[in-house]
Chains A and B, each alone.
Chain A
Amino acid sequence: MSLLNDFKNGLWNEHPIFRLLLGMCPLLAVTTTAEYGLAMGLATLFVIICAEIVISLVRNLIPKKVRIPSFIIIIATFVTIVDYTMPAFFPEIADALSIFIPLIVTNCLILARVEAFASRVSLKRAIADALGMGIGFTWGLVLLAGVRELLGDGSVFGVQILGEGFPTWGIMGLPPGAYITLGIILAVINQIIRMRHKKTREVS
């Protein structure tokens, strides 16, 4: 039961983007199209799972005082693997994401989860948490990227959805579009949570 809770935590209650506001830089930078958002999400998912597994396994071997540098090296190793694998298999996507692949290493989401969670709990719980947080981060990226691609280009995942006559919003592909869209999504999610709270209060 608690494993399931650890997993579900990242999907909504402690959603890394919408609740904790972590990992903002890659989120805003790469979400011009849904495809890039998904690629970034999966790359981060891979790193967070591997890092949480390894750190959960060696958590009793690392002295407390040097734990942060040790965690960073472990994370950086997996990021290097992604950084060299991506261009080999998906050169186009790797080109578009450019320096944001190596920058997964400074994604505060990963360090925060590793420090707050993986370094304290058993392997099973760490994996559940990594999966939840990674998938939560991925759906957040795809949602933001999907909205931006839909309004900016009339398509999602490259499939034309809005008709040919739709006047595309050029701003969506540019930085201001990223900030404003995310701000509005955050406001909508806050509103949903507030309405739910009201309901539970009325029932009780």
Chain B
Amino acid sequence: MENLLLLFAGTVLVNNFVLARFLGVCPYLGVSRQVDTAFGMGMATTFVMVIASVVTFLIYHLLLVPFGLEYLEIVAFILVISSLVQIVELFLQKMSPTMYRAMGIFLPLITTNCAIMGLALLIVQEGYNFVEALVFALGAGVGFTLAIVLIAGIREHLEIADIPHSLRGGAITLIIAGLMALAFSGLAGLV
């Protein structure tokens, strides 16, 4: 139990997916203009991460390993993740229209989010068992949500700030991200 708590805290704060591992940087820079949308994106990503980690874990250990097909890992994972996103989208549309309205538009974007694929590959690389994989996925999702909501909050204030022309847009966002990463690296001694 203690191990799992450490793993969770470590994944959220110390090895934050966006700020320390550079996974999921595209949505982090692209969908972080407003806190509301950033939160929606974070929730949708967390949701898909947890499901994807379960499905890819089962596929890897029940299908690829017994048949000696580990070299198909990349092809299998990316196919599973992209079809999974579509299924989740259809399912939400039918079962929970309110949730669909909140997350729907973000789901297609998640297919090319390298955080999901990276998560699946890291679980294999680190040799996590099923429970650890679940906790790791949840931590990754919460960490991603935390980072994207924080930067969206800062960017909302930047809208009214007087920034030099050439720094506007991507440049200033990257510099803020750097400062956030710096702040988060202060938590390194935590775990």
Contacts and interface: CB of A to CB of B under 8 A. Distances in A.
Interface string A30-54: 0000000000000000000000000
Interface stretch (A86-94, A154-162, A185-193): A185-193
A194 B166 CA distance: 8
Interface residues on A, range: 35 or more
Nearest to A84: B71
B118 interface: yes
B26 A83 contact: no
Interface of A is mostly: helix
Given A72-B82, A73-B79, A187 B166 contact: yes
B37 interface: no
B166 A105 contact: no
Interface residues on B, range: 35 or more
A175 B166 contact: no
Interface in B41-60: none
Interface in B142-191: 164-175, 177-179, 181-182, 185
Contacts of B177: 179, 183
Contacts of B83: 69
Interface stretch (B1-9, B17-25, B88-96, B127-135): B17-25
Interface stretch (A8-16, A74-82, A118-126): A74-82
A175 B20 contact: yes
Interface of B: 19-26, 29-30, 71-75, 78-79, 82-83, 112-114, 117-118, 121-122, 125, 164-175, 177-179, 181-182, 185
The 6 closest A-B pairs by CB, nearest first: A179-B178, A183-B174, A180-B178, A29-B22, A183-B175, A190-B166
